[in-house]
Amino acid sequence: MAKNNEHICSFCHRKKSETSILIAGIDGHICEHCVAQAQTIIDEELTQKSGKFKFGLSKATKPKEIVSFLDQYVIGQNEAKKVLSVAVYNHYKRLNQVNEDDGVEIEKSNIILMGHTGTGKTLLARTIAKFLNVPFSIVDATVFTEAGYVGEDVESILSRLLQVCNFDVAAAQKGIIYIDEIDKISRKSDNPSITRDVSGEGVQQAMLKLLEGSEVMVPPQGGRKHPDQKMVKIDTSNILFICGGAFEGIERIISNRLNTGVIGFNKGVKGQTIDESNMLQYVSPLDLRQFGLIPELIGRLPVISHLNPLDKATLRAILTEPKNSLVKQYKKLMKMEGVTITFPDETLDYIVEKALQYKLGARGLRSICEVIMTDIMYEVPSTPNIKEYVVEKSYAEEKVSKSSLQQLKAA
């Protein structure tokens, strides 16, 4: 306190006459300048700890660097990685573009990823989320219905993004959304429906305004909209949408278009050798329309990419090479118990062969490994003096033969 009994700030020693506000505490005072400075320090500390969103890539980060990061977690699928990295890179450039007088405006390139179950569509989306420092949300298209029916409105897609970034509207408007199972909202035929298709064509129509870019009124907590609910306005013009789906059965549509099933001398496209083991590489917007996506939706998803089926070599690499591979996960789990676990090559080859047989992709690897490892992870922690364990092929064969997975073989 000053000599003339005038109160002063306990931090900067400004007199009350030098400040607009002087807040009194038990044993001191603080002025508005120190409060503002303290708030700045708090914001900086919280940003460092929580990784608050920043909208921009470093100058050293190029599409090839993004692919290099994806390679640490996702094996193969080079074409899909390339498409995804370019789209994300251009998305950042679009957000950071400087207004110029040339009249050229960069439009966003929404993406559609196609691939069989277990090929890595969702994994690619989750991995790119680790690399990016923007709000990123993964939603499932199967829960949405047309407005007025039981289910969720398509605006709930934006509600999930808002929740990810703690309801920061400015951050959400520059985020990325991955919509999974986009193929499940296809209409039943290529012809317009004369009846209500509330979870198919109706959802596609409702998604158009989100994908293209418009101002949408969103319920912050998700769910259905009602008159008394507080709404938040979000502009989707700068939100990048990535859609993924298995599109089961579209190979037949592609095959019919390419005439691969024709008996005669002119089989296939003239001058082109068709790889019938991976028909998705020949997909076109026409095939998507015949599958059941409306033309307006296809037009708002201009970038179409596919994921290749997983062969034996790729599944073998998935099992051991990525940072979060299954083998590394099991080794870490057992290391926590003080046990070193080993998977011989013949055991790993057996797991891969079974995964190929069950046709479940990379997810099949996890199912088979769980069948093999459950009893080991149950017994070993309670058994003293076990410091090392080798998972023999004979043991793996015994566990798989007794499991319900064997029923898939008959199917």
Q: What is the pLDDT of residue 194?
A: 57
Q: Tell me, what's the pLDDT at 50?
A: 46
Cα 199 from Cα 220, distance rounded (Å): 22
Residue type for position 56: G
pLDDT of residue 340: 92
Phi (first) and psi of residue 307, to 5 degrees? -110, 135
CA gap 114, 305 in Å, rounded: 6
Q: What domains, with CATH codes, occur in the chain?
A: 1-52 (no CATH), 63-306 (3.40.50.300), 312-410 (1.10.8.60)
Q: pLDDT, tens digit, for every residue of 121-171?
A: 888 888 887 787 778 888 888 888 766 565 677 888 888 888 888 888 888
**Other Cβ atoms within 10 Å of 306 Cβ, number:** 23
* Per-residue pLDDT, 369: 92
Predicted local confidence at residue 148, as pLDDT: 54
Q: What is the pTM of this model?
A: 0.73
Q: How distant, in Å, are the alpha carbons of 235, 300, 334 from that of 285?
A: 27, 11, 48
pLDDT computed for residue 37 by the predictor: 84
Q: How far is CA 85 from the centre of its chain?
A: 13
How far from 267 is each of 126, 187, 279, CA to CA, in Å? 41, 31, 15
Alpha carbons 302 and 295: distance in angstroms, whole number = 11
Report whether 356 contacts 362 (CB < 8 A).
no
Q: Which of helix, strand or coil describes residue 32?
A: helix
Give the C-alpha separation, 231 to 78, whole Å.
41
pLDDT of residue 131: 82
Give 350-358's long-range contacts (Cβ < 8 A, gap of 24+).
350/393, 350/396, 350/397, 351/319, 351/396, 352/312, 352/315, 352/316, 352/319, 353/312, 354/400, 354/405, 355/315, 356/312, 356/315, 357/408, 357/409, 358/405, 358/408, 358/409
Residues of the chain with pLDDT under 70: 1-4, 43-60, 97-102, 146-151, 188-199, 221-229, 260-272, 405-411
Q: What is the reported pLDDT for 407?
A: 56
* Structural Rg of the chain based on CA atoms: 28
Q: What is the DSSP string of 181-196?
A: -GGGG--SSSSPPSS-
Which residues on neighbouring strands pair with residue 218, listed in sequence order? 232
